[in-house]
Amino acid sequence: MERRLSAIFAADMVGFSRFMEADELGTLQRLKTHRTELIDPAFEQYRGRIVKELGDGVLVEFPSVVEAVQCAVSIQNGMKEREVDVPNDRRIQFRIGINLGDIIIDGDDIFGDGVNIAARLEQVAEPSGICISGTAYDQLKSNVDVGYQSLGEVEVKNIERPVRAYKVLTDPELIGQTIEQKPAGFAGARKSAVIAVVLVFAIIVGGWWLLQSSYQPDIAVNAIVTTDENPPLQLPDKPSIAVMPFANMSNDTEQKYFADGMAEDIITDLSKISALFVISRNSSFRYRNENIDIRRVGIELGVKYVLEGSVRRAGNRLRINVQLVDAQTGGQLWAERYDGNQNDVFALQDKVSARIVDALSLSLAPREVSQIESPDTTSVEAYNTFLKGQEIVGKRTPESLAAAIIYYKQALELDPDYARAAATLARSYFTSFRSGWGALPGLPTYNDAREMALRYAKLALKINPESADARAVNALLLYYVRPPRLDESVGEFRESIKLDPNNSAAHLDLGRILTLGGRPKEAIEPLERALRLDPANASDIENVLAYAYFGMEDFAAAIRHAKKSWDAVPDNSNNGLILAASYGLFGNSEKAGAALEKVNELRKQQFQPKITDYLLKQSLSFWFFKNKKDEDRFRNGLLKAGLPE
């Protein structure tokens, strides 16, 4: 048997079984047409030899990895063009995996790890995506007009060692770039003094402050723990509700993003009702994948009602099952099933919201009725694309932000009047330039990101001046783009909160800019409101509360809130900085020093630079304290804690 080094191309169709079940003859005919008119001619053009066909998939050998990737890009781009008018759930898509490796030739067939790795990478690839091995990437470099995103070392079935893998990026803005996977604490490894200062700033001030609650990662945790020091939450003085993540009942597990989007949009609609108290998505979605005890949820989130649901998409059909449960008794108040097609998605959401309003006997102001009945977009395709971005950005990394921005742009291209997409783009670019990510591959430069944030915020307001999201991101920019325009920013936040009184992120951001702007006493109310709306985000909110009390020179209260923040997320060194500074000015130098020592020990474990007075002074200008006395107070607290030079 002969051995040789070859480029192996493996592809299969996404959701083939589901398509066949819905329309066997139609699926086979469409697949045959794509093969005849696009795929097989591409193999011939790039000198690919079809080794075997597997019904919905194909294994092809190429003489070079360059030709294999060029062929893959040609096919994926061609499929997008050919299926552009097909509804999203009926669109034929392929995954492609490519490896450069040693193979064994037996007649016309090929075997070996080189083949197995290509097949496994195909399973790693996203729908309409291309995933290549590290050996293939090493040979490509700049020989193909694409970009790459490192996926790190990937564990694949039946291969003993992890495989270095890369996602191929076809967006024109990313050509020639490689977005590397960063280890935890990657900022400390940077050698450039300028970038180091920016990244130190981002770590010190907590880059996660800058992200909306909707950017929280989707993880299952035990939610809120009630203790003597953290007693159960009292019910609000109005009807209160938490919307759980909807179960994805579709055959395609990748439809989770759509089920999440349905639940999130119902939260958004209900959140605009001033007569209703609505827990944030961030807190209610923390119960994902748990066997939910509704009464426990009611106690931990402090709500009277819980909405549960499921979504099933089959072909063009859509089914939503929902039930409203009394969280105190566990009894079902009502249950409904809503059926329609994909184009009915917005009408079905409205029906669910209207049913809740009716069940709870809520009175809506005319403005609230108008807001709920006016969808952000009428384009199902734009909506689907936007939701894909929301799913990706939940990973909360520079790379995921860069990838999500591409989806948000596509959504806005599909519907130029999509104010939410424009507002989310503005916040994404704001996050980029405020967190020090602006100079990373796949994202604009610091200045470019700032200008893009301003441009999209202006566009969002132009599209819909009544958009709470647009008003909130505009409020942020009014403060953070120098010079800080505090009064205007506060006014915009208050308008945003009028439009969406249950938006915990807006309350948190308002409290933050009031604290940084030298008005910490005014910050307490919106921060406490944010904490009540989003109890699972206690660490971030308690951290800002600590800074607010620190600004009021109530150092005992600052210590209390800083300890709560750090106890909630003990591996976040940023939570310990305000504790060290508060102890320092409170006069307890021993505890101040211990807190600062723990901060730097954590940073060392995470490969981050040690906090010194030099780095702090270099980064303080990025904090956007409006008054220098607030900068000096914080620095003096850390100096009393023993901050080294």
Taking only the tens place, the pLDDT of each residue in 580-606 is: 999 999 999 999 999 999 998 888 887
Task: List the structure tokens of 71.
Answer: 């062929």
Yes or no: say if 417 and 463 are a contact pair by the CB < 8 Å rule. yes
Yes or no: say if 266 and 307 are a contact pair by the CB < 8 Å rule. yes
Yes or no: say if 304 and 328 are a contact pair by the CB < 8 Å rule. yes
- The span from the CA of 589 to the CA of 642, in Å, is 8
| Cis bond upstream, residue 483 (ω within 30) | yes
Taking only the tens place, the pLDDT of each residue in 514-538 is: 999 999 999 999 999 999 999 988 9
Lowest mean pLDDT among 146-160, 273-287, 340-354, 403-417: 146-160
Taking only the tens place, the pLDDT of each residue in 417-444 is: 999 999 999 999 998 888 766 656 667 7
Average pLDDT for 324-338: 89
Q: Report, at the CATH architecture level, how domain 193-211+538-645 is classified.
A: Alpha Horseshoe (1.25)
Q: Which contiguous run of DSSP H or E holds residue 28?
A: helix 24-34
Phi, psi of 11 (to 5 degrees): -140, 150
pLDDT greater at residue 638 or residue 439: 638
Residue 575, number of CB atoms within 10 A of its CB: 26
Q: Please give the pLDDT value at position 253.
A: 62
Q: Please give the pLDDT value at position 372.
A: 78
Could you tell me the pLDDT band of residue 397, with boundaries at 50, 70 and 90?
Answer: confident
For 292, counting Cβ atoms within 10 Å of its Cβ (0-12 exposed, 13-18 middle, 19+ buried), the class is: middle
Domain boundary assignment for the chain: 2-179, 193-211+538-645, 240-362
- The span from the CA of 392 to the CA of 284, in Å, is 19
Taking only the tens place, the pLDDT of each residue in 89-146 is: 788 999 999 998 878 877 777 877 788 888 888 888 888 999 999 888 888 866 788 8
Q: What is the CATH code for 240-362?
A: 3.40.50.10610
Task: List the structure tokens of 525.
Answer: 């109310």
Task: List the structure tokens of 360.
Answer: 């709870």
Give the predicted TM-score (pTM) of the model: 0.67
- The span from the CA of 616 to the CA of 601, in Å, is 17
Mapped onto helix, strand or coil, the DSSP state of residue 149 is: strand
The torsion region of residue 223 among left (phi > 0), alpha (psi -120 to 50) and beta comes to left
Domain covering 2-179, topology: Alpha-Beta Plaits (3.30.70)
